[in-house]
Amino acid sequence: MSIEVLREEFAQTRARSIADCAPLELEDYTLQAAVFASPPKWHLAHTTWFFETFLLKPFVANYKTPNTQYEVLFNSYYNGIGQQHPRDRRGLLSRPGLATVLDYRRHVDEAMAQLLESELAVQNTAIGARCHLGIEHERQHQELLFTDIKYSLAANPLYPAFRSGIPERSSVGPVQWLTFDPGLIEIGHGGQGFSFDNEHPRHAVFVQPFEIADRLVTNGEYQAFVDDGGYQRPELWLADGWATVQDQAWKGPLHWVDRGGDGDRGREHLEFTLHGLIPRDEASPVCHVSGYEADAFARWAGARLPTESEWEWMCQETGEQSSGRDSSDLLHPRSSVGCGACFGACWQWTQSAYGPYPGFRPSDGAIGEYNGKFMSNQWVLRGGSCVTWSSQARPTYRNFFYPQDRWQFSGIRLAR
């Protein structure tokens, strides 16, 4: 990316974070309903901290931070930088107030603008690369901002709406199965364009023959699983998944709300969305399921989850790209129609444990903590959701969450 484009993308990305938050009430900015759901204000500050920590402090000799305590307060998990404010106490930071955090953003934006226009930025390519990483990092947090605030607002019995305009629904038609022969393929990022370290190196993998569904599992199909006693039948579940079902008393996907009726009859089937509580659409992809639920559903359906190699091959074969950004609000539009429907509706659980590709090397220094240290106990998700920034909806992108996590927009694609 040229330095000019970088400056432009930097400015747009930074502006978009503010714009995304606009519909929030001031009291929402500090809200944190679970350890994993950071408050909007914290996202705004942390993404700023990232530029300050990895660009301004190392590369700008006379850079002065507005508050030395921010180094700890807004560090997410970089032990190489130092201590971190406890993750489960981010919602207790009523101060600095929003106005002060916005001042912090402006302060850093101005210093960044100067840096990007300096001679140094032209000479030292590390600056451009780091800045690009910071932009992609902020885009990831823009997605998290949506998932986190959705989770945190759902903790309020008033079920408040955040905003309209997010296409959480997208009806799909009957499923088709795409067929693949065995073969030695290559996966991982190998070409131009931005990528994270965990997408490297591109390498050969031998894949057995498989079939894969051309669209995601729907709310209606998942309801059939629930109605068939899916949450009461241990034989459908991984042992750890079944323990989680018991422990968390799960009865259905997160954000499904059933109410009224007499027993199971006549119950109203709703779901909580960023627009508030609305009727569930049977034909839209089921969302907010954990990896365990995805796996159990697949077993019930006589299928299984795809591996990440299978998913990436499918994507290569169907030639699908994410359909680009939506100019009106910068949100990624769902491309849920297509050979593979790879991107847009929901992240798609794979059965692949998140681990290093053969020959993987994390970046040097604290920035090497970005991806590598999470390579245990998590599962890979592929694709992208209705709140994913378009540039990240690429075939090689590896998202990862614990199999019990379900506050992301995560759904199910079947393989067999």
Residues that bind a copy of itself (CB under 8 A): 25-31, 33, 41, 69, 72-73, 77, 79-80, 85, 89, 91-98, 152-153, 155-158, 160, 184, 203-208, 234-235, 237-242, 291-292, 295, 304, 307, 351-353, 355-356, 358-359, 369, 373-377, 379, 403
Q: How far is the CB of 268 from a copy of itself (least distance, A)?
A: 17
Cβ-based nearer residue to a copy of itself, 61 or 99: 99
CB of 110 to a copy of itself, least distance (A): 23
Q: Which is nearer to a copy of itself, 172 or 185 (CB)?
A: 185
Q: Count helices and strands (H / E) in the chain.
A: 11, 11
**Residue 31 Cβ vs a copy of itself, minimum distance, rounded to whole Å:** 5
Can you spell out the DSSP letters for 29-93? GG--SSTTS--HHHHHHHHHHHHIIIIIHHH-TT---S-TTHHHHT--S-TTT-----GGGGGG-
Residue whose CB is less far from a copy of itself, 122 or 155 = 155
From residue 149, give the alpha-carbon distance in Å to each of 152, 276, 303, 323.
5, 12, 33, 26
Our CB check for a copy of itself shows the closer of 233 and 325 to be: 233
Q: How far is the CB of 97 from a copy of itself (least distance, A)?
A: 5
Q: Which is nearer to a copy of itself, 207 or 337 (CB)?
A: 207
Tell me how far, at minimum, the Cβ of 121 lies from a copy of itself, in Å: 28
Spatial strand order of the sheet with 379-383 comes to: 399-401, 379-383, 347-353, 410-411
Residues 6+ apart with CB under 8 A from 355: 375, 376
Minimum distance from residue 74 beta carbon to a copy of itself (Å): 12
Residues in Cβ contact with 31 at an 8 Å cutoff, skipping those fewer than 6 apart: 39, 40, 91, 149, 152, 153
Give, as one character, the DSSP assignment of residue 390.
G
Contact 170, 336 (CB under 8 A): yes
The residue (of 61 and 239) whose beta carbon lies closer to a copy of itself is 239
